[in-house]
Structure 1
Amino acid sequence: MSVTNEPVLEVRDGAVSLGGRPILRDVDLVVGQGEVVALLGANGSGKSTLVKAAVGLLPLAAGSVQLFDRPLHAFEDWWRLGYVPQRSTIAQGVPATVREVVAAGRLARRGPLRLPRSADRRAVREALETVGLADRANQQVSTLSGGQQQRVLMARTLAGGPELLVLDEPNAGVDLISQQAIADALATRAAAGSTILVVLHELGPFEPLIGRTVVLREGRVAYDGPPTHLAGAGHLDAGHGEHCEPGEPIVHVPPMSGLLGEER
């Protein structure tokens, strides 16, 4: 993996409010090309809100986002970005097979009006093989387990061949086999030079991949540095968003009122 100083994703002085309530405030996050960064924090710390704002799914109340050196509002090369959401919506809507869902990941590359080419079919097949679901290609997504559905979302993103992968809690409520399959798929992409930003509540099987951790606490960055600060713990205290390893206190951030509750 080659890591450079060239920024792929930049959030500067980012702030997000939902329903008039501040969720993020004064957040700076820069992810360089080839980095594998884990975004950690307790429930309600703003992890999902930050990645959704970074990929344009939520508006900023203040600050700015740049993707590949272009302001978010002017960014057009969406094939370069792959976003893997939490799996809660994958089985909703029109019934679809695993192959059909994964093939949708090629639309940003070929456009919605062009028929799939051999390169598209090959990319779908390789993505399914990478996540270990090649034998489920013709199965209805709604019949899969939660972990398998999360792997389908991962394969859909991989099929597009993005340079930047952003994943929102890929191991939440997912069995260990699927967690390992997703971690292995990310390791393959990281070895090929992809940049990865992954939201996690605990490192688990992703730990060997992570080169840097950014910890959010109550809507602000509380720690940004090597993952060695989390060695041996693998999780954050759910009540306080603090690292549980004795003798390794997290950087203190003054509490912000009204930021308790579920993850945003």
Structure 2
Amino acid sequence: MDYQRIKVMRDNHVVIVSLNRPEKLNAVDMLMFNELIHVSKVLRKDRMLRAVILTGSEGNFSSGLDFKSMMKNKSFAAKLLFKWLPGQSNRAQQVSSNWRKLSVPVIAVIEGYCWGAGMQIALGADFRLCAPNANLSIMESRMGLTSDMAGSIALREIMPKDKAMRISICATELDAETALSLGLVTEVNDEPMVEALALCSQIAQKSPDVTAAMKHMYTRYWTAPAWKLLAYETYSQIRIMLGRNFVRVQQALKNKTAPKFEPRQRHW
């Protein structure tokens, strides 16, 4: 598919998805919503994929929602907020929550502005690697709105409730080091893309089945009752041990060589 608002580049088993509207500081409009949802669904089916990097073009992640363009068409809000069941993700939420459903790690590389909708998208990633010049904010309250793009799921996992509530209500602008101290980002690095690619290389050396199991274990069950986490641990371990990639790891350990993996098992 030819995208207009995002760029998708593949390097072996790593895909880089870039928000690509630099003249608007990569502000999110309806077309970008649709393209991000589409690419995330396509990547979810890719069993050869090992990692995804989310970033923004030309020095900014995203300045947030393009409020002006979204208000021009009243049907946009209805399309974004509609859902069949209350517990499902609507289209506004899918640009964040869909990344959590992938069976591979998703790494957000954040430079410059990461506000509002951009921050919500970044919160859908598993890791947020941040440049020193980054400026981050959960910005929705400035527009008289609440956060409604699923980033709150990640916030409850990575930050204390009082601190998350404070920066959300006040729409606090955070520099990179402050965001790191609060747990909002994983790491501050002078070259976050280089670090992200190095992390992808480390991930590629591990079994894709193990990676998928760990991703879903922590994403689905981090805040679940202990019995559910214990049950999934057992289920995933048995499934891994019955798979071909487990045999390949054991052979590689015996021969002191690097394992050559098969595609990830289906339906993690």
Please give the TM-score of this superposition, normalised by the length of structure 1.
0.29
TM-score by length of 2: 0.29
Structure number with higher strand proportion: 1
Of the two structures, which has the highest relative contact order with CA contacts closer than 8 Å and spacing of 6 or more? 1
Higher share in helix: 2
